[in-house]
Each structure stands twice: as C-alpha cells, then as structure tokens.
Amino acid sequence: MKINYETVHFNYADRIGNLTAEAVGVVKGEKHFPVYSGNQIFKPLSKSKPFSTPLFAYAEVFWSNVINEYFVSAPLYQLAFCHGYEEETQKYYDYGTVVPRIYNEDEQLLNLLEFFRKYPDKKVDIDQYENYCMMFYDYTDILEASYFQNHEDMAEQLAMQILVSMLKGDQNYHYENIAFVCNKKGEILRLAPMIDHEFSTYFMFPDNSAQHMYWYSELIRSMEGHEVQDYEYDCLKNPKERQMMEKSAVCLHKNLVYIKEHYPEVTGKFLEKLNCLKHDLEENPSPFYLQENIEYPGTANSYAYMSGKARYKDHDEEKAKLLEEKYSSREKKIDFHVLGVQIVQEIKGIIRLLKVMLEKENGNWDKVKEQNDEDKAGAGFTGRKIKAYDKPELTDGQQKVLDALKQNCEEETLWSAIAAFQNYPFRTASGLPYQYKLKIGKDGTYNKELLIDRRENSKTLSWSSIKMAFQNCRQISGIVKRPKALGDIRGISYIYPLFWKFGLIEVPEETAKKMCGECDTEAEL
C-alpha cells in the first residue's frame, strides 16, 4: 500500500456544479461542495467545525486508503486546494480534500436518520437522536430494527462498517454518516461505502497532548465498557449532553458484544483482515507513517474554530474577535515524524484491544491473558516487566507520557501524565482506593481541576496544589516517607500516589504495597 499525500488543485470558477449536504442534529447547517469533472467533489475544511486542523484532511486520506486496502471498498480521498473558494464562502478554507462521488447520476443517498424518520421502527427511538461530535453511538437498536433483521446482507455490511469505525477511533460516527444508495423512486439499492474519516482520534489535538490523551482514553474506555461512575461527567451542566456522554462511555462495548454474538461470520472476517493490518504495521510500518506535504498547511490550532463558530454560526463579530485574540497564540507546527510514529503505536494499541474483546471466550481478563501471549498486552497495554506491587499494567499511551516525563520533567509533561491516568485505580498511602477525572470547561478545554472519586465521597484537587507539590518534590532526594513530606498542601494524600506512580518520588516498600492494594487495610473492610 502506498498512500498518496500529493495535492490536487482546482479553481472554484471551473466547477461544473455544487453538491448540497445538510446536517440536521445539534450541529446544523447546509453545505455546498463544488463538483468537478469525473464527479470529483471538493470537501473543504471548515473554520467553524469543532477542533478542526489540517490533520482532518490527512485522516481522510489515511483511512480511506487503509479501509480500501484491508477491509471494504472505499473511495480514496486526496489532499486538495480549491482556489477562490474561501474568498467566495468566507466560512471555509480553500484547502481540504477531494473524493469521488459515491453514487451515480440516477441515484440518491438516504442516511439512517432520514430512513428511520421515513420508516419509523419501534426498536429505534429516532426522535432522541442528536449528532453531537466527540461522542460514540449505540448501533444495537439500529441492527435490531426490522429492516436489518429482514435484510441480512445489508446488516452484515453495516456491522463491518461499525467495527471499522471503532478501529479508526471515529469520534463522530453518527447516523448521518451511514447511508443507503437509492434509485430515483427511493428504492434501496445498496449500502453506501464508508466516507467522512476526519474525526479519527489518532489525528486529533496534535497541538494539545493532554486533550489528545483524554480522548484516546475515552475511546478505550467506551470499548472496555466499565460502568459509568456518578462523578465522571459532573462537569457537563447540560442534562442532555451529560446523558449522551454517559451513554457514549459504554456504547462501543455494547456494539462489540452485540456484533460478536449476532454476526460471528462478520466478526471472523474482520479479525482476519485486522490481523493482516496488524502484521503489516509491525513488520513494515513505514507506509503508514504520515508524509508531510509542504504545499499544505502544516500548523494546527484545535481551538481556532471557536472564533469561526462565533463569526459564522452565531453571527457575533465582537465575540469572534475576543476568541481570536484568546486562541491565536496556540498555533503550533505539526511534527509529522513524531506524529506518524505515535499514530501507528496508538492504532496498534486499539487493534490489540479489539482482538481481546472479539476473541475472548468470556469476561475473565486473567484467563484471556493466560490463553494468549499476545493478548497479555491487551487494550494497548505494554509488556514491560514490573514489580509485584506495580499494578495494574499501563496502556501504551500511559507508558509513553511517563517516558516523556522522565526525559523532560516539566509541568507540561506532568499535566500530560495526569490527563493520561484518568480513571486509573490509585490508592492512598493508607490503601484507600480512589480515581479521578479531569473537569472540562465550556470551551472544551480542561479547567485544571481533578474530581477525586473516593467511594461515596467526591473531592476536588486543584492544579495549583499539584504544582506546589511538584516544585517541592524536585528539591527532595531519597525516600519520601509520608505524603506531608511534600508539604502541608491541600489534597497531598492524593498527590503522593500520583507522584510515586509517575516515578517522581521513591516511597517505603510497605507504603508501595499499600498503594497497590497488597496489604489489607481498614479501608478495604
């Protein structure tokens, strides 16, 4: 496989027509994409689409090639410029991608949202659908609908697409991204091929490692399907949004379990194709590394969209200028070499998790690890040797940030580690179990506050307290015998285990055992 990252150039004035597309959920809007000879459609990057960077376009190119090569037939995207388009539309850039149209002149598309509004099904509560981005979607009810129950081939194709969407870490695989191709009478002919790969987790937030690790961990969390804790999404004040995020946090696991049970042949084919991809990623990863196109924009600002949203959707120019001033300094050059290696490693981690989830005979994690050496690394876990009390195993992402912290012991890398260890099962020096979750502000960024879950009680821990302890620990050599040796700081009993896990401090052997739950404590009783 050779992925083509060269650019194609068009002039807006030379278009032969426009393709109209409309989103109808929370993210509403009508789009008019220029069409060129050969039914080539220019898809621009938007100034108001959440978290959009040039890597959205690279993700389209990358995944269209990988999906077409290893899984199912898919139209190939290519980086493109449409000169004069930004001047004409204002709210879109004149760069994006170009892709062949996926239906013929005498055909039309009918997405799943439109289908179930036209043909209601008691299994599918379509009126509750909202197309929030940065969420995962439950497809079990869709597959239970009478149409898919009565059209097995179509259901199997959809099941395969759902599995592939999980592999690519799609944070926006909603019901409008799946469509039927119909004739002019509206009769369904086939399921449309997969398109719209831009919200691939691995390509998001190249300018903010903490945010990137958060969303990568959310992908893993949803696939593993652990029960949602009451405190996890306290930062979301909109009840509807919170409800959707709590559903998103487990729905990929539901999809995996359902497909494995009801579509064993599809599962087998997917695993066979997945193993081919895994083999090539391990034996010859070079073709999968990103190749920078120097013609194409090479910087990223995941929050630039906020001023675009204020300007073009809210029509509030004053707010747009304030946001522009606030976020303009966040523009960062994309390191394509580092990012390419990171993307390959993260995809390999998700492949391992998918194999564990789809191949295991039951939910006993220990038995799975005993049965298959490869699955010992499950869910992106590393195979590093650890002491008996250094449990549980770390994900590749967690190990990566700890390695970075070891090489560059600064506040920025410490914050990345904190983001990567959300929902990790820590224990205090006395053995009391706890986890934490970072709060997210209204602008989609972390507000630097940890919400500590301690059984029935929840507490908050501020970044300023962690920074104070961090400065103190850098002045200490040798074993730190107790938490308050780092300072009389609010929340120090929770900071102490973090610093030990991150390799910033040494602690007494007995304390280490308690922090890993090897000693019975009153907190356990």
Higher pLDDT among residues 145 and 359, named by residue? 145
Buried b (16+ CB within 10 A) or exposed e, 477-503: eeebeebeebbebebbbbbbbbbbbbe
For residue 351, is it within any domain?
no
Q: DSSP per residue over 206-267, as a string?
A: TT-HHHHHHHHHHHHHHHHTPPPPTTTTTT--SHHHHHHHHHHHHHHHHHHHHHHHH-HHHH
Give me the residue label for tokens 């899984």.
71
Residues 288 and 419 reside in one and the same domain: no
Same domain, 60 and 170: yes
User: Could you tell me if 181 and 64 lie in one domain?
Assistant: yes
Lowest mean pLDDT among 6-15, 286-295, 310-319: 310-319
CA distance linking residue 264 with residue 125, whole number of Å: 26
- Position 367 in a domain: no
Domain span including residue 71: 7-298+334-338
Does residue 294 sit in the same domain as residue 406?
A: no
- 111 with 251, same domain: the answer is yes
Q: Considering only 156-160, 268-272, 359-363, which range has the smallest mean pLDDT?
A: 359-363
Q: Do 418 and 278 lie in a common domain?
A: no
How many domains does the chain contain in total? 2
The reply to whether omega before 392 is within 30° of 0 (cis) is yes
Residue 181 confidence (pLDDT) above 60: yes
- Using DSSP, state whether 424 is helix, strand or coil: coil
Which DSSP state fits 515? H
Instruction: Give the C-alpha separation, 470 to 496, whole Å.
Output: 10
Residue 457 above 60 pLDDT?
no
Any domain includes 370: no
pTM: 0.73
pLDDT in tens, 87-137: 999 999 999 999 999 999 899 999 999 999 999 999 999 887 777 778 899
Confidence of residue 316 (pLDDT cuts 50, 70, 90): very high
- Answer positive or negative: Cα dihedral of 262, 266, 268, 273: negative
Residue 525 pLDDT more than 80? no
Residue 286 shares a structural domain with residue 156: yes
For residue 22, pLDDT beyond 60: no
Residue 312 lies in a domain: no
Q: Which of 338, 368, 400 lies at the terminal end of a domain, its last residue?
A: 338
Rounded distance, CA 411 to CA 83, Å? Answer: 42
Are 162 and 35 contained in the same domain?
Answer: yes
Quick one: what percent of the chain has pLDDT higher than 90? Answer: 54
Per-residue model confidence as pLDDT tens digits over 368-390: 334 333 433 333 333 322 232 33
Q: Is residue 454 part of a domain?
A: yes
Strands of 77-116, DSSP E: 78-83, 92-100, 107-111
* 396 shares a domain with 291: no
Residue 320 lies in a domain: no
In this structure, is residue 315 part of a structural domain?
A: no
Q: Give me the mean pLDDT over the 258-262 stretch.
A: 96
CB 135 within 8 A of CB 171: yes
360 within some domain: no
pLDDT higher than 60, residue 169: yes
Report the candidate in 469, 350, 483, 345 with the shortest Cα–Cα distance to residue 426: 483
Tokens of 7: 């650019």
Q: Are residues 398 and 294 in the same domain?
A: no
Instruction: Indicate if 149 and 255 belong to the same structural domain.
Output: yes
Question: In what order do the strands lie in the sheet containing 92-100?
Answer: 7-11, 78-83, 92-100, 40-46, 28-36, 17-24
Average pLDDT across the chain, whole number: 85
